[in-house]
Structures are given as structure tokens and as C-alpha cells.
Amino acid sequence: MSLPSITDSHCHLDFADFDENLEETVEKAQRSGVGRMVTICTQLKDEPKIRKIAEKFECVLYAAGTHPMNAHKQPVIKVSELLEIAKHPKFVGIGETGLDYYYTKETERDQKKSLLVHIEAAQRSNLPLIIHARSADKDISDILESEYKNANFSCVMHCFSSGRELAIKMLDLGFFLSMSGIITFPKSDELRNIFSLAPIDQILVETDSPYLAPPPYRGKRNEPAYVTLTAQKGAEIFNLSYEHFANQIEKNFERLFAKARIQRPAA
């Protein structure tokens, strides 16, 4: 009996970790029940490479933006640049963008400028915003809430591992929380509790590969095939069968990433 299809909503297939066996990695994911993958660009100079990956594999979609940890390394991206890239049929989201004060607090000003550009692009394109937030709960909450009031947009808090207060605020805005391999780690009880209180129709799953591999692969390279392990833990959190949970996650993904419905791979 084949597993129900599920989408890895956030991975990095352009990273060097996959250079030697990208085709094998994508094929393995598909055999594991991963019907689609969204590969994420973290700096615009790499967008052509990510675009080519999406064009090569029918099951791969992509998004692009400037990761907050890269915001100080290059000129601030222009809204017009993002909107031009967004015309590509397989481009489905804006980002990842956001704030990271854990590693790069000293570049806070650059990060905020970049974030505001990405938000405007999401507002104008009607594509979902993909947010990275680490050790910046208050600022990310304040900015997203304020800008949403100016002109609404859809959003996913990628690899969500922040606190309960931020989760509640984001869910109240109608945003999505994405589960990564972190929810499978033994010491993640509080995070699992936060997810258990969220509406299931505002949940996604991802690998963030090559990072954050779930057990039994923890400490090794993560890859899209392993999103099924995170989804299994997600099903446990919501006390659902894997099939029920996976089907709901697919509905959620297509509601948020509406452009992906047009690019659904042939069965």
C-alpha cells in the first residue's frame, strides 16, 4: 500500500550537500511519498540555479528572497526584482526573509529593511511570505502585524520553533506554522505542545534540508524524503492517522501556495 502524497514545503536543493546526487535525492523523495518539494533561494544571486532545478524536475517548485543572515552582504533587494522573478510559473512564494538575532543581531537594521521589501512584494504579488524568525519574536510579531494591517498578505512561519505568544499572534493573523524535524527531537515537548493547540488547517511540514534531520538520521544530512518522519510525528501530535494528517497538510499547502495547484505533477 502506497503512502499518501505529502509536500516538503521548504528545502534547499541548491546547497552543495546535494550536488553529487540531486537526481537520486529527488527520486528517493518521490518513492517515499513526497509528491512535491519547494526549494528555497536564500540570496538572489543564486536564483538562476534554483530556477533551473525547478525547471528540471516536475515535482519541484521554488521561492526566492534574501535570508536575514545575508541581508547585509548585498544591496537591498528591490520589490520590482522580486515581482519580475515571481512571474515564473514555478515560482510560488516570497522568501525566505525575516529576522535572525541569534547569529546576526548586529545587522538588525539591514534585516528589517530587507524584510519590509519582501512583505511589499508578497502584498503586491498575492504570493505567500516565507518567514525565518530566530531570537526575534517581538520584532517579527510587531512588523508582521503592523504591515498586515496596512495591506494583508498570507504567510508561513517556516521551521517554527519560537514561543507560544508568537505562535498565537501569527495564527490569529491567519498565518501558518510549519513543522520541521525539531518537533521529533526528545527535548521539544514545549514545541509539540504549542503545535497541538494550533488549528490543524494552519499547519505545514518541511525538512529545511540539508539541516535538522529527524531521528534516526539526526546529525546526518537531511533530505526531502525525511519529511514523512516529521509528518508521522505531526500525526501523533494531532492524534490522527498518517493518511488523515497528510491529506490535511496537502489541503493546507495548496490553500497557502495557491499557485502550486496549477503546477501539480501528473499522477
User: Is 22 a residue whose pLDDT tops 70?
Assistant: yes
Q: How many domains does the chain have?
A: 1
Residues 6+ apart with CB under 8 A from 267: none
pLDDT at site 50: 98
Amino acid letter for position 54: A
Over residues 83-107, the pLDDT tens digits come to 999 999 999 999 999 999 999 999 9
pLDDT mean over 19-48: 97
Residue 215: inside a domain: yes
pLDDT at 265: 61
The helix (H) or strand (E) run that includes residue 115 is helix 108-125
Determine which of 120-124, 219-223, 260-264 has the lowest per-residue pLDDT on average: 260-264
- Mean per-residue pLDDT, 123-138: 98
pLDDT of residue 266: 53
1 in a structural domain = no
Q: Which helix (H) or strand (E) holds 130?
A: strand 129-134
Q: What are 153-204's pLDDT values in tens digits?
A: 999 999 999 999 999 999 999 999 999 999 999 999 999 999 999 999 999 9
Domain assignment present for residue 153? The answer is yes
49-64 per-position pLDDT tens digit: 999 999 999 999 999 9
Please report, for the chain, how many H helices and E strands are present, in that order.
10, 8
Q: What percent of the chain has pLDDT over 70?
A: 97
Q: What is the DSSP letter of 209?
A: B
The predicted pLDDT at position 3 comes to 75
Residue 91 lies in a domain: yes
Taking Cα atoms as reference points, which of 202, 221, 203, 201 lies closest to residue 211? 221
- Residue 125 structural domain: 6-263
- Which CATH number does the domain housing residue 115 bear? 3.20.20.140
